[in-house]
Structure 1
Amino acid sequence: MNAAYIVGTFDVAELAFLTFLGFFIALVFYLNRESRREGYPLEDEDTGRIHPIKITDGDKKVFQLPNGRGTYVPEDVARDDINVPAVQAFRAAGAPLVPTGNPMIDGMGPAAWANRSKYPDLTFDGRPRIVPIAQSHELVIAPNDPQLVGWTVIGADKQVVGKVSDVWVDQAEHIIRYLEVETTSGKKVLAPMPVAVVQTKGFFGDRPELVEIDAITAAQFEDVPAIETAGIITRYEEDRIQAYFGGGYMYATPERSEAWL
C-alpha cells in the first residue's frame, strides 16, 4: 500500500488542498467582516431606513480613548439628519443637492462637518492642544515676525471685518492655528490661519499692515460658529468653524458656485 494514502484513496495532497481551501474561504469571510466594522449597517440615503444586519457585517469597532476617557463606538452616535435644506438637482438616485437655505450654516457640500467629540484635542500629556498664545506653554511669536494682534482684518469683499484680538496656537505643533477676530459689532470669532493672508508694509513701507481672509465676506463673519467656553475649542467646534470657512470658497458669493467656463 502506498504510504501517501491516509484513508482509502484520500492522500496527503488532497488533505493539503482542502486545508488550504478551507483556510482561504475563512480568510475571505474574516476580511469581509473586518472591512464592515465601521459604517455598517447601511442606511438608505433618501429615507434613512437602516438595512438589516447580514452575517458578513462585522462587530462594532470599539476605540480606547486616551487620558481615561473610556471607549468610543462610532455607530452608537446619533444618525445624521436626512431632512437637509436642499433639493435634488434632478430626479435620479445620487443626484447632487442644491441648497435652499444658507449652505455654509447648513453644512452643505464643502461646508459639511462631522459630529466630532465635544471635548478639546489634547497633547500627549493631557493638556488642551489649541489655546490662546498667552495660555500656551511659553510659546511666543518671534520678534521679527508680525505680531498680528491689533491688525485690521478684511474679508473677500475688501470690507473691514474688525481687528485681530488674539492668536491661538497649537502646543504640539508650535504653529498658529487660528486668529481670534473681533468684528466691528464686538463679536469675537475664530478664523483658521490657513485661510488668512498677512500683508506687511512691504519693502518700501507703502502698504498698510492687515490680514485678508478671502474665504468669506465681512458680513458673513457675524455667522461664524462660536465657541462655548472661552479659551477652549472642542473638536466639534473646530470642524464647524473650518467647514464654514471652507464652504465660503464655494458659497460666499453667487459667482463662486458657478462654472468658470
Structure 2
Amino acid sequence: MVEPFFGNFDLASLTLWLFYGFFALLIFYIQRENMREGYPMTDDDGNEAANQGPFPVPEDKTFILPNGRGPKSVPSGQTPERADIALKRVGPGNGYPLEPTGDPMADGVGPASWAPREDIPELDWKGHPKIIPMRTTEFVHAAGFDPRGMPVISGDKVEVGTVTDMWVDEPEQLVRYLEYTLSAEHGGGSRIVPITLARIWMGKVFVKSLYAHNFAGIPTTASETQVTKLEEDKISAYYAGGYLYASEARQEPLL
C-alpha cells in the first residue's frame, strides 16, 4: 500500500505556523515603518543614543509631496532637531530634570517648547492655505458671540487690546484663531491667539495664560493673511507656556 504524500502531514498545523510567521513579519514591518520619524533617537545632549531599540532604523523612503513641494526622504531627510536649547540638567546623568537658563517663554522650552516644523502654511486639498482671516473669505458670523470689537483682557485683568478678526480653517469651517491689535503700551501691532486658549465672556475676550507684560513677546506671523506651521507651533507654545512661566509666582508650589 502506497503512503499518500500528505498522509501523516498536519495541514492545520502548517497553516497555524504560517500565520505565526506572517504575523511576526508584519509586526517587524510595522515597527520599522513607525521609526521614520524621530529616529535615530538622541539623548538630552543631542548625541545619538546608544540604545536605539530592538529594531533597526529603516532605509530611506522618498515621498513626492503634492502642490510642487518636491520630494522628501525619511528618516534621514527629516527636519533636524532644535539645537542650543536654553536648558541645563540639574543632575549628572540622563533622565535628570532640565531647568531653563534664560527666559523660558522667549527661548521656547519646557511647557513653552515648540517643534521645528516647516515654515510654510498648511494647505488644503486644492493647494490653498487652510487657515486664513475671515476678511479674505466669504464666511460670515451666523450665531453665538461675535468677538470682533471686544477688548482682550490678560490674566492679571488688564485690557491689552481689541479683537479685529477671526481666522478660520476653511476646509473644516472652524474658527482657529482670534486676531487682535495690541495697545501701544503693550507692544502694539497685531497678534493672534488660539481660540482654545481664549474665553469669550460678558463682552470680553479673556486670555488667562498671559499677564499684561507678556503680550509684547508673543511671536508674530510674517504674513497678514496666512500662518505657517512653524509660526502656529511657536504662537501656541508661547500662550500655553504662560500657564507656568507668565510670572515667577506661577512656578511656586500651590501648597
TM-score by length of 2: 0.82
Change (3 A) 1:33 1:131: closer
1:177 deviates by 1.3
1:96-145 CA deviation, whole Å, 9 max, x = no partner? 21112111221212211122222212223222211111101x10112x64
Change (3 A) 1:181 1:88: same
Find the aligned partners of 1:167 and 1:27 in 2 and give their Cα distance. Answer: 46
**Aligned with residue 248 of structure 2, among 208, 231, 254:** 254
More divergent stretch after superposition (51-60 vs 212-221): 51-60
> Matched residue of 1:36: which SS?
helix
**Aligned with residue 198 of structure 2, among 196, 199, 213:** 196
Identity %: 36
Change (3 A) 1:19 1:220: same
Tell me the residue number matched to 2:141: 141
1:154 deviates by 1.3
Tell me the residue number matched to 1:163: 162
Tell me the residue number matched to 1:118: 119
Whether the aligned pair in 1 keeps the contact of 2:132 and 2:168 (CA below 8 Å) is yes
Tell me the residue number matched to 1:57: 57
Whether the aligned pair in 2 keeps the contact of 1:48 and 1:82 (CA below 8 Å) is no
Greater Cα radius of gyration, structure 1 or 2: 1
**Aligned with residue 241 of structure 1, among 187, 210, 235:** 235
> Matched residue of 1:73: which SS?
strand
Structure 1: gaps spanning 5 or more residues: 201-208
CA RMSD of aligned residues (A): 3.0
**Aligned with residue 187 of structure 1, among 186, 189, 195:** 189
> Matched residue of 1:181: which SS?
strand
Tell me the residue number matched to 1:86: 87
> Matched residue of 2:162: which SS?
strand
Whether the aligned pair in 2 keeps the contact of 1:36 and 1:57 (CA below 8 Å) is yes
Letter aligned with residue 199 of structure 1: W
Change (3 A) 1:255 1:23: same
Letter aligned with residue 80 of structure 2: R
1:58-84 CA deviation, whole Å, 9 max, x = no partner? 123444433342333354144223432
Whether the aligned pair in 2 keeps the contact of 1:38 and 1:60 (CA below 8 Å) is no
Find the aligned partners of 2:159 and 2:238 in 1 and give their Cα distance. Answer: 19
Letter aligned with residue 73 of structure 1: S
1:217 deviates by 1.0
Whether the aligned pair in 2 keeps the contact of 1:38 and 1:61 (CA below 8 Å) is no
More divergent stretch after superposition (67-76 vs 221-230): 67-76
1:19 deviates by 7.2
Find the aligned partners of 2:93 and 2:248 in 1 and give their Cα distance. Answer: 26
Change (3 A) 1:72 1:210: same
Change (3 A) 1:101 1:74: farther
Runs of 4+ aligned structure 1 residues displaced above 6 Å come to: 52-55
Tell me the residue number matched to 1:72: 72
Find the aligned partners of 2:211 and 2:10 in 1 and give their Cα distance. Answer: 74
Letter aligned with residue 190 of structure 2: K
Change (3 A) 1:73 1:105: farther
Change (3 A) 1:176 1:65: same
TM-score by length of 1: 0.80
Find the aligned partners of 2:206 and 2:23 in 1 and give their Cα distance. Answer: 59
Letter aligned with residue 211 of structure 2: T
1:167 deviates by 1.8
> Matched residue of 1:219: which SS?
helix
Change (3 A) 1:74 1:224: farther
Letter aligned with residue 150 of structure 2: W
Tell me the residue number matched to 1:219: 213
